[in-house]
Amino acid sequence: MKKVLAFLSTLLSGIFLGSCSSGVDEMVDPDRTARESENGSEIKVAVTLPMASCAIPVKETNSDVEKDLAIAIEKHAPSSLKTLTLEMLESPLMKVEVWPKERIPSELLSLLEYTGSTAEEKKTVREAKKFIVIHAIGRPGWPPLHEFGIRTAAASLALELKSTVLDLYMPAFVHLDQAFETLPPKEDPPKLSSWLKVLTSSGEKGIWLTSRGLARVGLPELQSIDVPPQIENSLTYVMTGLAWKIIKTAQVALHQDTKELSLSNVIEVTDKDIDEAFGKKVTTKTDTAASFHLKIKKGSDGADYLTIVKPGGDKRTNGVYLADQMRQLMGASSEPLIETTKTDEMEKAMALAVAELPMIRERFISGRLPNNGKLILKFKVTRGADREYLWASVTAWKELDKIDCYCGNDSRFDPKLRAGKQLTLSLDSIVDWAVMVNDDIVEGAYTNKVLEQEKK
């Protein structure tokens, strides 16, 4: 992921240098980086020139690809965008190139497995020998008109060639049956979730979440570092809502062709901001709000990110802070505590789970869990003769008896044992395991099955 993000960042930055009109060139400052102001109450953010690239996989190409593209736009583009797209094609704002397949990193193509693809799309890419690559450049601000133009152009040509479209910035397939649905006038106003996604990278200290879409309007991307795995889905929604609130806050300055804008380092996000970003009701709570502190920090790929950080003086760990924020804004963000009694069936379930721990550890460290799968472990907490059982999300398990994880529950025995707290568990404390995909348990959880039987 880090290698691919670095490639995508450098790809777009070098394509148009020296190729645009003087009015646009004056706004480009490739050496400028976002920086935090000294007083700490605002962040000075560099506004960059939005750029985009789409690729159409093909076996062969004609000699005049640009002419073929213009014909395809005339034939397939929606009437509301045909003129805009053709004008971009005739100007320095759009470029068309033919790339050999080897120029696109294999790591980028492998990511397409995780961002949605059909068997036919994967076959088209696999059999391709070349890629017709269309680049577009625009002006900062929402909505990203250059994105409308490049997607219209790429989808039109792909329809004509019976191929598909790759958004190299995301990276993801642009399904042709949906390609024009994200464009005006069908979607009025356009929703941010159609143009911004939150990508996930797993690490030994938690999950790294990064937005891909703020750069479409000229702003740095968002990141959250060392995130407890159990709040990944909630934080994905919240980061999209936060990105939308940032865009709304910066919109006036973006449209003034400024090279730098001031952004408050504390942004409040409400349930309404999140729902607006998705164009529909996605939050489970209403009339909620949470403030997020931002700071400019480098990401693992070396780029500058608007980074979610704890407020100064907050004594909670980062994981507990984030879990509390999700609970406040989105509702429950931790696994529920399970009450149980000691029965023969429960003892057998725990024994079976413990016997399988070496197996599930081997699958975890070798990356053989299902796509988007997370490993959680149930561990016991003692208080005298009393026991309680909590879930924890595993981030690393290098040694058999040393398991790095994030607590999934608030303990009733220990007030310091909170959802989101980093833990190192020993093997003898584990009584069950489970694999979760999109918040659903798909394997293991033997003790849960006993509890379900007891309720019947």
pLDDT at 343: 82
Answer whether 68's CB lies under 8 Å from 56's CB.
no
Nearest to 91 by CA among 131, 135, 125: 135
Q: Give the mean pLDDT of 183-188.
A: 69
| Buried b or exposed e, range 239-268, using 16+ CB within 10 angstroms | bbbbbbbbbeebeebbeeebeebebebebe
- CA atoms within 13 Å, Cβ hemisphere of 433: 25
pLDDT 10s digits, 309-361 = 999 999 999 999 999 999 999 876 555 555 556 688 999 999 999 999 999 99
Residues in the chain: 456
**Cα gap 82→119, rounded to integer Å:** 30
Q: Give the mean pLDDT of 367-378.
A: 93
**Cα gap 105→7, rounded to integer Å:** 8
- CA atoms within 13 Å, Cβ hemisphere of 47: 24
pLDDT at 382: 86
pLDDT confidence bin for 15, thresholds 50/70/90? very low
pLDDT at 363: 97
Rounded to the nearest 10°, the torsion over CA 84, 88, 89, 95 is -140
pLDDT at 395: 96
pLDDT confidence bin for 23, thresholds 50/70/90? very low
Q: Indicate whether 3 pLDDT > 70.
A: no
232: phi then psi, degrees, rounded to nearest 5:
-55, -50
| Residue that is written with structure tokens 């006036």 in the block | 252
pLDDT 10s digits, 25-46 = 333 333 333 443 434 589 999 9
Q: Which of 66-70, 241-245, 287-291, 335-339 has the lowest mean pLDDT?
A: 335-339
**Cα gap 62→65, rounded to integer Å:** 6
Mean pLDDT rounded to a whole number for the chain: 87
pLDDT 10s digits, 394-437 = 999 999 999 999 999 999 988 899 999 999 999 999 999 999 99
**Cα gap 38→119, rounded to integer Å:** 52
Say if strands 373-383 and 304-309 run parallel, antiparallel, or are unpaired.
unpaired
Contacts of 220 (CB under 8 A, 6+ apart): 34, 45, 46, 48, 214, 296, 303, 304, 305, 306
| Residue that is written with structure tokens 């920090």 in the block | 297
Q: Which two tokens stand for residue 165?
A: 């479209």
